[in-house]
Structure 1
Amino acid sequence: MQKQDLKTPFFMIDEEKLIANLEKVKRLKELSGVKLVLALKCFSTWGVFDIIKPYLDGTTSSGPYEVKLGYETFGGETHAYSVGYSEDDVREVADICDKMIFNSQSQLLAYRHLVEGKASLGLRLNPGVSYAGQDLANPARQYSRLGVQMDHIDPSIFENLNGAMFHMNCENKDVDAFIALLDSISENFGQHLDKLEWVSLGGGVFFTWPGYDIEKLALALKHFSERHGVQLYLEPGEAIITKTTDLVVTVVDIVENDMKTAIVDSATEAHRLDTLIYDEPASVAEASENGEHTYVIGSCSCLAGDQFCVTQFDQPLAIGQRLHILDSAGYTMVKLNWFNGLKMPSIYCLRQNGDIEKLNEFGYEDFKRSLSQWSVS
């Protein structure tokens, strides 16, 4: 199977780049003693879990299906968290998770009897401080529903609680900023943490980013763990798969209305949703910062503002030309949808030996079945 023979659109996960990130995971664990569980809300493509499993300690989830997926396909520790459990949700996963983390004291009190003796009990706490580039992704935003605020804590809760979870980062590439958050948590919640067995510090810590000081992060994590006598966890998602995956598309048309738009056979609305949600333009491998030819890279959906980016090229684009939308693993495959009945991208992995492995492909029957199902008598 040759890459040029694959029909676009498709995702291509690069095993070598993935392992490069995972080697940084290994280094962090060795230096700090922290355990890491993969955040399935960001990346759930279990066809490459064979690459990731040797480096991580398990998975963490945001809904019951993710719990099941982690348990069945990854193994190790299976952490279950939800912003709002139903009783059925709790019953569904209590027997297969190692840790169940509740978002509120009321949910903990309502359902703990279904979990005790089966899984370790945890509670999400909201530290009131965070590092997030956009308010939409800020767990400590005004009126946040995510976790228990410090002034709402019932201290008696901690007498029969095993652990706590904080999540207060989004794409945090600043180790000093993260350490400042740790210090704030120690100061404000330390009396409660000292009673616990484990603490998860959530995800959003971009320790695999080029130039990140892993040694400094590891020292801070080790100090926090020793100070409070707890096993620490991180829940990386994007940090594991950043810069590993391209979304490969083809230019199908070029139109002009004051500016040229290259329409490609993909759409942010359907295939790279966070580009649209967070208004964060994508990057294109073939683009040139000082190129003389400017194009909108436009989606083939009917949504007027659906575009990947505006960028420059050294040479004019041509119909039939392929483009590589960079860094397209995180929060992409987990959010794929059938908007406009567009073709869903296939998913491949480029193995270190040069082989291309097909992980999944989708067709019309998948689209049809996602909308209705009926039997013909």
Structure 2
Amino acid sequence: MKISTPYYLIDEKKLLRNLKIIQQVRRLSGARSVLALKCFSTWSVFALMREYMDGTTSSSLFEARLGFEKFGKETHAYCVGYSEEDIRAVTQFADKIIFNSVSQLDRYYDIAKSAKLGLRVNPGISYSHFDLADPARSYSRLGVVDKAMLAKQIPRLSGLLFHYNCENDDFDAFSRQLDTIGEHYGDLLEKLQWISLGGGLYFTKEGYPVEKFCQKLAEFAKRFDLQVYLEPGESAITGCAELVTRVVDLVQNEIDIAIVDASVEAHMLDLLIYRQAAKLDTGGRGRYRYMVAGRSCLAGDVFGTFQFNEKLEIGSEIRFADAAGYTMVKKNWFNGLKMPAIVVRRLNGTEELVKEFDYTDFINCLS
């Protein structure tokens, strides 16, 4: 099938590799896994994902509704700041409603008490390579810090959320953190039904000690008689998608520069936010060196500098790897650029064009 670039290509076979590890963790540890929609909300592959996961977790009313309508199973609703309208809506379908602060719990308790309620905790520890994504950074607004205040809320709660990791692929660090949480909050956990350890745990990374991870989770759950939840986002979808582009121009300014029909600013925004280069599955040892840039007007709209095996030409295809997480959920209409289509390569190898965007979509986002 001929598909016009740019487009995101999700490969279900690659996705399945991660899902089978999640299934293994569920089986060996007893922990349940709910997909973090803030990372990946492309519901055209939810039919496959729901076979291996327990539901979804959200960061807003719309995400919670999407999880309920398109994924099913458990629907966890969390938001840094609910409005009253949000809470009244989310109580119609959420199994668990998790508040970010005691003040929000107080304000909306009577409205939300029909659901199982939780509070997010800021344990003062974290694992993150970026201050921007560190939930325990100075002056963090994310979660309850005061344990004494937290303890007073326990009779109104069924569980707690501890989301303190970002791309943590270090099992030993995770193990130490979990011990710290057990030591500091164990007296509260013993009175509850569940704990969520949030996302940011990179347990699907190649070489990660999955069996040790499972044993640690199982021991923790048994010690405090809790149902443990994980909220995989990147771990569920890492390595399963590409952003497929084509070269539309070649220019030279001390180095060779290839301009593609996509944009970092509009289509892989996380790279720009965290000042990272895109990934190419080319090995990086080719003879021909090019800076690859997007076609927006932003001077810094650059995917990175790469080595190619062959000289690039107008029309050459360039595929950026690992383009699922925090891409499609952040894509935007900056410069009015054509938004990438979404294509899924199904398990049987067929490629399905599931969504195209056109001028109508662009103009309907404006007024």
Query: What TM-score results when the alignment is normalised by the length of structure 2?
Result: 0.98
Provide the residue aligned with 2:365 in structure 1.
370
| Number of residues of Structure 1 aligned to a counterpart in Structure 2 | 367
Q: Structure 1 residue 265 and structure 2 residue 239: aligned? A: no
Indicate the SS of the match to 1:207.
coil
- Cross-structure match for 2:102: 105
Letter in 2 for 1:310: T
Map 1:68-217; keep pairs closer than 5 Å.
68-117=65-114, 119-151=115-147, 153-217=149-213
Deviation of 1:152 after TM superposition, in Å, equals 5.8
CA RMSD of aligned residues (A): 1.0
How far apart are the structure 2 equivalents of 1:289 and 1:263?
18
Sequence identity of aligned pairs in percent? 51
Cα distance in 2 for partners of 1:184, 1:57 equals: 27
> For 1:332 and 1:51, how far apart are their aligned partners in 2?
20
Gaps of 5+ in 1: 373-377
Q: Rate the CA distance shift 1:320–1:152 in 2: closer, same or farther, 3 A.
A: farther
- The two structures have a TM-score, normalised by structure 1, of 0.96
The answer to whether residue 305 in structure 2 is matched with residue 330 in structure 1 is no
Q: Distance in 2 between matches of 1:153 and 1:210?
A: 41
After the TM superposition, which parts of structure 1 deviate over 4 Å for at least 4 consecutive aligned residues?
none
Kept in 2: contact 1:129–1:140 (CA 8 A): yes
Question: In structure 2, how many angstroms separate the alpha carbons of the residues matched to 1:298 and 1:268?
Answer: 8
Task: Give 1:150 deviation, angstroms.
Answer: 3.9
Q: How far apart in 2 are the matches of 1:335 and 1:152?
A: 38
Kept in 2, the 8 Å contact 1:124–1:147? The answer is yes
Q: Out of 30, 35, 56, which is 2:27 matched to?
A: 30
Is 1:277 aligned with 2:244? Answer: no
**Separation (CA, whole Å) in 2 of partners of 1:156 and 1:136:** 31
Note if contact 1:122-1:165 (Cα within 8 Å) is conserved in structure 2: yes
1:82-128 deviation per Cα after TM superposition (whole angstroms, max 9, x unaligned): 000111110011120000000001100110110112x1000000111
Tell me if the contact between 2:14 and 2:239 (Cα under 8 Å) persists in the aligned partners.
Answer: yes
Task: Output the CA distance in 1 between the equivalents of 2:173 and 2:338.
Answer: 42
What CA distance in whole angstroms lies between the structure 2 residues aligned with 1:359 and 1:172? Answer: 32
Matched-pair contact (CA < 8 Å) for 1:288–1:314:
no
Gaps spanning 5+ residues in structure 2: where?
A: none
Q: Deviations over 1:127-157 (max 9, x none)?
A: 1101101000000101000000145634221
Helix, strand or coil: the match of 1:239?
helix
SS in structure 2 of the partner of residue 334 of structure 1: coil
| 145-154 or 16-25: bigger deviation | 145-154
Give 1:32 shift.
0.2
Amino acid at match of 1:80: A
CA contact (8 A) 2:144 2:150 kept: no
